[in-house]
């Protein structure tokens, strides 16, 4: 589902954020991406959804050679990918329902279908009673659930979460991670979670990719920190 072959990203400033990276992530995998600040985690993620272009090497996502996608085709390619950020990024003047429906509206999905999909997704994230609430009326954890619902409503092949628990307390963080696990199980979505949270990585013992200095330092299937990575 995701394949990087000898990928390097050098920014205009000369910073080599990703340095000859090779990785293969299969369909339906759940992977944590960890590493110190400035290691290249966000750059790695940005290469996957064509926010940045690789300087050299090949990035394949959902069967597409990402560097070769024409600019005007990028929005179509991104329909394969749901993205969740640390700071939720919800539209403040729209209700929960409208926030989630928005991506479907821009793709001209029929109204009845939109209503069905949004309701089903709200149920999956446990917010069926909040459809008419506005983001400011929700807790941080609930807002992140809405952001996750928005990211998955179109049933993308890949879901990327960049520090999804960065603004949340430990108990709420666990709830969000368990929700991502449920989505992985129910929808078989390939999920990548970038995190600084050692406890989460330790607790769930999933495949963990450790990035340091733009390279994959270790890649383990049993939970990074539990395996002696620091
Ligand atoms: N747009 C940019 N232009 C120039 N340099 C950049 C740009 N974005 C990131 N960098 C640099 O690339 C390197 C990797 O940054 P990146 O944001 O990928 O790291 P990170 O592992 O996500 O860090 P953090 O955990 O702090 O978010 C850093 O040295 C950073 O300063």
Domain spans of the chain?
A: 2-89+158-227
Q: Which residue's CA is minimally distant from atom 30 of ligand 1?
A: 38
Average of per-residue pLDDT across 2-7: 97
Query: Can you tell me the distance from the alpha carbon of 101 to that of 84, in angstroms, rounded to the nearest whole number?
Result: 16
Buried b / exposed e along 77-115 (16+ C-beta atoms within 10 A): bbebbbbbbbebebeeeebbbbbbbbbbeeeebeeeebe
Does residue 42's CB lie within 6 angstroms of at least one atom of ligand 1?
yes
Q: What is the DSSP letter of 194?
A: E
pTM of the predicted model as reported, rounded to 2 decimal places? 0.92
Question: Distance from the CA of 59 to the center of ligand 1, in angstroms?
Answer: 18
Q: Which residue's CA is minimally distant from atom 3 of ligand 1?
A: 11
For residues 28, 130, 163 and 80, what is the CA-based torsion angle, rounded to 10 degrees?
40
Does residue 195's CB lie within 6 angstroms of at least one atom of ligand 1?
no
CATH architecture of 2-89+158-227: 3-Layer(aba) Sandwich (3.40)
CA distances to 31, 143, 176 from 209, rounded to whole Å, are 7, 27, 20
Does residue 82's CB lie within 6 angstroms of at least one atom of ligand 1?
no
Report the atom number in ligand 1 closest to the C-alpha of 214. Answer: 14
Closest among 24, 34, 38 to 163, alpha carbons compared = 34
Average of per-residue pLDDT across 5-22: 97
Q: How confident is the model at residue 222 (pLDDT cuts 50, 70, 90)?
A: low
Q: Is 53 left (phi over 0), alpha (psi -120 to 50) or beta?
A: beta
Average of per-residue pLDDT across 75-89: 93
Report the atom number in ligand 1 closest to the C-alpha of 44. Answer: 18
**pLDDT tens digit string along 86-125?**
999 999 999 999 999 998 988 888 999 999 999 999 999 9
* Contact indicator for 4, 57 with CB cutoff of 8 Å: yes
Closest among 180, 174, 115 to 147, alpha carbons compared = 180
Q: Is 2 helix (H, G, I), strand (E, B) or coil?
A: strand
Q: Which residue's CA is minimally distant from atom 17 of ligand 1?
A: 42
Closest among 92, 88, 86 to 136, alpha carbons compared = 92
Q: Tell me the pLDDT of the chain averaged across its residues.
A: 93
Query: What is the predicted ipTM?
Result: 0.97
Average of per-residue pLDDT across 169-183: 95
Q: CA angle 226-228-229, nearest 5°?
A: 100
Does residue 14's CB lie within 6 angstroms of at least one atom of ligand 1?
no
């Amino acid at each position: 589902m995701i394949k990087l072959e000898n990928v390097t990203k050098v920014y205009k400033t000369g910073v080599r954020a990703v340095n000859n990276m090779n990785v293969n992530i299969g369909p339906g995998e759940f992977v944590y991406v960890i590493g110190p600040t400035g290691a290249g985690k966000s750059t790695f993620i940005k290469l996957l959804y064509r926010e940045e272009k690789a300087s050299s090497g090949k990035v394949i996502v959902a069967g597409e050679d990402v560097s070769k996608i024409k600019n005007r085709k990028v929005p179509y390619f991104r329909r394969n990918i749901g993205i969740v950020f640390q700071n939720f990024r919800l539209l403040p003047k729209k209700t929960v329902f409208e926030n989630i429906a928005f991506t479907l509206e821009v793709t001209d999905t029929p109204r009845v279908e939109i209503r069905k999909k949004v309701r089903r997704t709200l149920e999956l994230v446990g917010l069926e009673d909040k459809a008419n609430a506005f983001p400011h009326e929700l807790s941080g954890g609930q807002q992140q659930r809405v952001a996750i619902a928005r990211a998955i409503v179109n049933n993308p092949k890949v879901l990327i979460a960049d520090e999804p628990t960065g603004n949340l307390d430990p108990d709420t963080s666990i709830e969000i991670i368990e929700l991502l696990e449920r989505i992985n199980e129910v929808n078989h979505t390939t999920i990548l979670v970038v995190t600084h949270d050692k406890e989460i990585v330790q607790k769930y013992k999933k495949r963990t990719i450790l990035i340091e200095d733009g390279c994959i330092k270790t890649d383990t299937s049993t939970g990074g920190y539990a395996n002696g990575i620091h």
